Amino acid sequence: MSTLYYTEDHEWIRVDRDGEGTVGITDFAQQQLGDIVFVELPALGSVLTRGGDAAVVESVKAASEVYAPVSGTVTGVNTDLPQAPGTINEDALGEGWLFRAHLSDLSELDDLMDQDAYDAFVDALE
């Protein structure tokens, strides 16, 4: 069973396996950005620090940094996104994932929001 966590910067991480997580941006984030036209993914093996720059997503409106929700090492990237960045708009929580990472400190997940907390956070923004 996977567990989904969210950041205040609108990234999500799904922890699927022991110490592995899949990261993307939320549906709210992709709606705010509009049509996504470019994605810059991290390099395999990159060491990420929680809150540090991990990727870039550009839309017709703006460019947005994607921050690492937790610290870890990049173990995979969604190689389909550079040719089809709009996949994020179509399926932000599924096929629009950005990268996978091996988490270096699972306790960092404790600082993230669950679905209910994230929904309340977004509701307060609107």
Helices assigned H by DSSP within the chain = 27-33, 87-90, 115-125
Spans of all domains in the chain: 3-108
**Region 61-71 average pLDDT:** 95
CATH architecture observed for domain 3-108: Beta Barrel (2.40)
- The token pair that represents 31 in the structure block: 């709606």
What does the pLDDT average to over 66-92?
Answer: 97
Whole-angstrom CA distances from 93 to 45, 79, 87, 99 are 23, 16, 10, 12
Would you state the pLDDT for residue 16?
81
Which residue do the tokens 């110490």 mark? 19
| The model's pTM | 0.94
Query: Percent of the chain at pLDDT above 70?
Result: 98
Determine which of 15-24, 45-54, 61-70 has the lowest per-residue pLDDT on average.
15-24
The band of 2, judged by pLDDT with boundaries at 50, 70 and 90, is: low
Residue 1's pLDDT band (cuts 50, 70, 90): very low
